[in-house]
Every structure is written in C-alpha cells, then in structure tokens.
Amino acid sequence: MSDIILPTDSNIYTTFQQLVTEQRLVFLAGLPGTGKSLLIQQLVLLAQQAGRTVDLLQWDLARAPFETAVLLQKYPESNGVTHPAIRKAVGLWARTAVHHWYTRHQHGNRLLIGETPLIGNRLIELVQSTDDAIEASLRSARTLFVVPVPSASVRRHIEAAREKSIVNPQHQNETKDAPPNVLHAIWQEVARLGQRLQLIKKSDFSEKSDFSAYDPGIYTAVYQHLLQHRHHHILPVNTLLTPSGSAYDLQLSGSELAAKPAEVDAIMQQIETEFTGNELETAVANWYRV
C-alpha cells in the first residue's frame, strides 16, 4: 500500500493541500519523466485523506479502449507512436467525458484528477479554446492545470530511476513507461517547439543549439504557451521523492474514466467523417496551436 511521502514543509505538499480543498478538476500536465505519476499518486492520497472521492483520467488508460484489434489494424502504431487518428479520437472523447463528469458532479465532494501530456496531440483538446458548451467548465476557476517542473538535478534523478524501473518493473504499468532515450527525444521536441514559437531567446539557442540538456526555463515557457487559455500553476519540483514501491500503486476511491465501446464507435465515425487522411495528419501535426 502506498504512503504519503511529501515533506510537509515542501511547496508541493502546501500546494496539494490547497488543491484538494478548493478544486473540482486538477490536471497534471507535462512530459514523461517529470514525476507526474508519483505526484498524481500523492495528490490522490491527500485528496482521499481529506474525504474527497477521487476519479482519474490518464492518457495511457484513456486510449486503451481505442486500441482494439480492429482499430489497430486500420490505424497501426508507427515505431511505438499511437496513430494520429487514435490520438485525435481520444482527445475528442476526453473533452466530452470531462464535461459530462463536471455536469454530473456539480454537487458533492468528488474530485477529478487527470494526467495530460499534451505534447504530440495527447489530450491537447482539453486545453484548446473551442466555442462549445464544454469550454466553460474547462475555463472555470475550479479547473486547474498544474505543470510540475523538476530542476535539472531532479530530472536526472527521475531518468536514473526510469532506467532501473525499465529493467526491473515493480508494476505492470512501468513496462509501458517511455525509456530514457525516448525521454530525451521528447524533450528535444519540446525545445524545438519553443524555438519555433519564439519562446526561446536567441542567446539560449546559440549556447545550446542542439538542446540536448533539459532546461526548466524552456520547458516552463512551452507549457505556459500551451495552457494560455486555462487556469494553470507552475509547480517547481526541487525535492527528491523516493516511493517505497511503485508510483502506480494506488487504491482509488472513485473510478477511472474510460470510453465505452459505443462511444469509441461514435468518435471514430466522427473522425472518419470530418477528416480526410491529409486533413487529420495536418490537424495532429499542428497540435500546439491552441
């Protein structure tokens, strides 16, 4: 059974205590390798300790109902990357699912905690500004996106821990974690995006032209851009956290949001009706235009 390991004098503990008291929806946004899974575990534990019933929305779990044998044959992975059609479908489903959750639980003590990578069109639909009935709940002050930003030293610690867990996983979900080489590749994608959006000073670019080293400042700037239409909080992570077991060990008081087969069919039909192949590729490639 997992325990609360956050130091009570840390900024993370103070922030999380406020979140479990005031918010209805909390999404931890960011890249793999920034400690989101462990922080979600700790946030869930604190919320349930405070008497909240917690429901969970996570990218890996949310996409699973869309990865049927039939759909994967039609929309296969490429080098381990989920097909654009499935990425778009999961995001559209999640936007509606969050709205339904928000409407259904307007009264009561339930808290929805989500994990939103955003990069590469992974639940980016939750932060895109769209003129629909769902937008109001996502813009609500009681919906908060939190971006954990590990220091360079903490990031190195997370990467070292990832290398060990890949070799010797303590939970089945750890087998799905991105290995260190993928963490580096995704980081460079973020850095290049920062350059493309002119969020990086020319001096920064000239000093580290390949952006091989993780940079908390660049990381923060990119995610602040992605979250410009949402209430968000940048959470510096300067404290090394070492769980006794797996970050995925969790006893949830509520449920995990997942699409039903009929919802999967309806969303995939919508995708196939609204987008041609090229239009879909373009839409997903331009995921960062929020």
Within a domain: 52: yes
Query: Which single residue is written with the structure tokens 């069919």?
Result: 265
Within a domain: 2: no
Tokens of 217: 């400042």
Predicted local distance difference test score (pLDDT) of residue 99: 93
| 3-state SS assignment for residue 271 | helix
| Angstrom distance (rounded) from CA 113 to CA 28 | 8
Helices 180-196 and 152-167: angle between axes, nearest 10 degrees? 140
Residues contacting 151, CB < 8 A, separation 6+: 216, 236, 237, 238
Give the domain range for residue 21: 13-283
173 close to 60: Cβ distance less than 8 angstroms: yes
Within a domain: 1: no
Within a domain: 7: no
Predicted local distance difference test score (pLDDT) of residue 125: 97
Spans of the chain below 70 pLDDT: 1, 165, 167, 169-170, 174-178, 201-210
| CA–CA–CA angle 33, 137, 224 (5° rounding) | 40
Within a domain: 153: yes
Number of domains composing the chain: 1
Within a domain: 290: no
Predicted local distance difference test score (pLDDT) of residue 242: 84
| Angstrom distance (rounded) from CA 160 to CA 255 | 32
Predicted local distance difference test score (pLDDT) of residue 46: 97
Predicted local distance difference test score (pLDDT) of residue 243: 81
Within a domain: 223: yes
Predicted local distance difference test score (pLDDT) of residue 159: 82
Predicted local distance difference test score (pLDDT) of residue 209: 55
pLDDT in tens, 7-54: 999 999 999 999 999 999 999 999 988 999 999 999 999 999 999 999
Within a domain: 4: no
